[in-house]
Structure 1
Amino acid sequence: MKFIIFFLVFSTFCFSQKISFIYETKYKLNSENPDDVNSENMILDLKNNISIFRDSVEKKADSLKLNNGREIFKMGVENKFYVKKNLAQKRIEKVITYLERDYLLPIEEILNWKITSEQKMIGKYKSQKAETNYGGRNWIAWFTTELPFSDGPYIFNGLPGLIVSIQDSNNEYLFNLIEVKKGGNIFDARTKTIKIDWKKYETLAKSYFNDPFNINSKGWKTATFTDPNGKTVDISVKNKEIQNDILQENNPIELNHKINYK
């Protein structure tokens, strides 16, 4: 009984504090090229059952936006990992920033976890194995009750402890917890959003593919840019480079929403 009371007090104390979990994230941009791997650290900020998952660039952009500084925008729609969660209300939403507008994409796919008896140490945490399906991929997760938070990287949540590691069965996406930071304030700079669904998401993605610099809507018939060598090049050349990159890096985390670009 004392243990249960202690756990409840400890859990309540933890959820009332702001904690940041840093995940090393690796993903293959092209499933057919094992060497084409992107790696970056992403941050899960959590307080009072509210969390935001984003990379360090997105977090810096949010901070600048809140302080009326110069905003930073990533071009494109693909490979966005910005996710908001309300764990108490079981609400998960992906944020897509495109042409200086924030779009809110609700994640309605249910995570049906299968918890196994298999356990092992991951870093300093005693962890237990669980499996689920999401986005057309099979996922293997390891969670620990030593960090009593029912959350994890990206959209993943709902286990009896924090997810310290998760990867898909094809080894194309991997999230590993590397650091825990306590203190600070969680902040949300993307509150004015336009709600979309996956069909609208595809429309935005194809719009970017066809016109990366949004020239058509500006009424420009032609435009140029200056390359790193100071050479002036027609924008159509740069458009072609971006389109080729999108076609070569079309390995989204949600495979069931992979876009057939034409």
Structure 2
Amino acid sequence: MKYTLTLFIFIFSIRCGFTQETTYVIDYDLKKAFKQLPTSSTFPSSLFIQTGNSTLYQVKYGVTPEEKVEDPNNLPQGNVIVVEGSDAFYFRNEGDTTLIYDDHIIFKHFTVKDEPKFNWTLTKDSKKVLGYNCQKATANFRGRTYEAYFTTDLGIQGAPWKFHGLPGVILHVYSIDGVFEITATGIKTFNDIEPLENPLDTTKMITWNQYKKKYERKYYELMNMVVGSGTGDYDSMPKMQLELLVEDRN
């Protein structure tokens, strides 16, 4: 979502009226390596998990891993989440299957209300990530197969991006085709934090199916324009990005 101004979600310490809860901040590197692009891209991101409340996943597309040394979301004494103009957000209330996030078609942005479902298969494979014991799980989701390593050592549940449904926190997840990977780089905790708020405009939300239909309509509209002009293949709007967006027509 594009913002004309830098917004701030102020998170104050609450002394009265709220039960003291712990906020977990898990930092990740998010890597995308689409085959139609010459190089891969890696972006810093953070997952905010509040026990008894909600989760917020923030991707800082305007910051490279080299630039994240001065991370504005270390949440020092000010306890403030910085919302930049090129950030992407995924917000979910605890216990709710609905995920709210911003997405776009060409240059038009939409607030999407999605209910992604993952049918995870737990395996006996395991490894350590950041010193935490992690178990491997696999799932097929909207055109890709994912392998995820999650930990129950933290005693909480949560996951970056749209991932959901495992009995712990995902610290490493990737698609087996090498297109998508998210790796935890650090974990911090904070106490006495006000409940997270959704930074997205929810007044005009559309569902995932509505978004997909809009994307598919624009895809074939552009394809027909290209075919009619005889200028060749149109590949800047693929059928599949991180998820399958255009079904093959019979």
TM-score between both structures, scaled by the size of structure 2:
0.64
Q: Which residue of 1 aligns with 2:207?
A: 197
Quote the Cα distance in structure 2 between the aligned partners of 1:167 and 1:150.
18
Quote the Cα distance in structure 2 between the aligned partners of 1:180 and 1:39.
19
Q: Deviations over 1:170-229 (max 9, x none)?
A: 011000011112225534322433121345425369769x99xxxxxxxxxxxxxxxxxx
Quote the Cα distance in structure 2 between the aligned partners of 1:139 and 1:204.
24
Q: Which residue of 2 aligns with 1:169?
A: 176
2:59 is aligned with 1:55 = yes
Q: Which residue of 1 aligns with 2:136?
A: 129
Aligned in 2, Cα 1:246/1:71: closer, same or farther, shift over 3 Å?
same
Aligned in 2, Cα 1:199/1:89: closer, same or farther, shift over 3 Å?
closer
Q: Deviations over 1:40-77 (max 9, x none)?
A: 011111223411112135898xxxxxx9xx98357xxx
Identical pairs, percent: 20
AA in 1 matched with 2:25: S
* Candidates 107, 111, 117, aligned match of 1:104: 111
2:246 is aligned with 1:246 = no
Q: Which residue of 2 aligns with 1:44?
A: 47
Quote the Cα distance in structure 2 between the aligned partners of 1:113 and 1:167.
14
Quote the Cα distance in structure 2 between the aligned partners of 1:130 and 1:85.
22
Alpha carbons 2:111, 2:202 under 8 Å: kept: no
CA positional deviation for 1:127? 0.8
Q: Which has the higher contact order (CA 8 A, sep 6+)?
A: 2
Give every structure 1 segment of 4 or more consecutive aligned residues whose post-TM-superposition deviation is greater than 4 Å: 57-60, 97-102, 204-208
* Candidates 4, 22, 26, aligned match of 2:27: 22
Alpha carbons 1:114, 1:130 under 8 Å: kept: yes
Quote the Cα distance in structure 1 between the aligned partners of 2:167 and 2:200.
29
Quote the Cα distance in structure 2 between the aligned partners of 1:58 and 1:206.
29
AA in 1 matched with 2:56: I
Aligned in 2, Cα 1:187/1:97: closer, same or farther, shift over 3 Å?
farther
AA in 1 matched with 2:146: W
Quote the Cα distance in structure 2 between the aligned partners of 1:126 and 1:50.
24
Q: Which residue of 1 aligns with 2:85?
A: 72
AA in 2 matched with 1:72: G
Q: Which residue of 1 aligns with 2:189?
A: 182
Q: Greater strand share, 1 or 2?
A: 2
AA in 1 matched with 2:160: P
- In our comparison, the structure showing a higher alpha carbon Rg is 1
Q: Greater helix share, 1 or 2?
A: 1
Alpha carbons 2:56, 2:92 under 8 Å: kept: yes
AA in 2 matched with 1:171: G
Alpha carbons 2:56, 2:89 under 8 Å: kept: yes
RMSD over aligned Cα atoms: 3.8
Quote the Cα distance in structure 2 between the aligned partners of 1:108 and 1:44.
18
AA in 2 matched with 1:252: Q
Q: Which residue of 1 aligns with 2:151?
A: 144
Aligned in 2, Cα 1:50/1:99: closer, same or farther, shift over 3 Å?
farther
AA in 2 matched with 1:25: L
Helix, strand or coil: the match of 1:150?
coil
Q: Deviations over 1:223-255 (max 9, x none)?
A: xxxxxxxxxxxxxxxxxxxxx8934x7751112
Quote the Cα distance in structure 2 between the aligned partners of 1:157 and 1:46.
13
Alpha carbons 1:102, 1:194 under 8 Å: kept: no
| Total equivalences in the alignment | 197
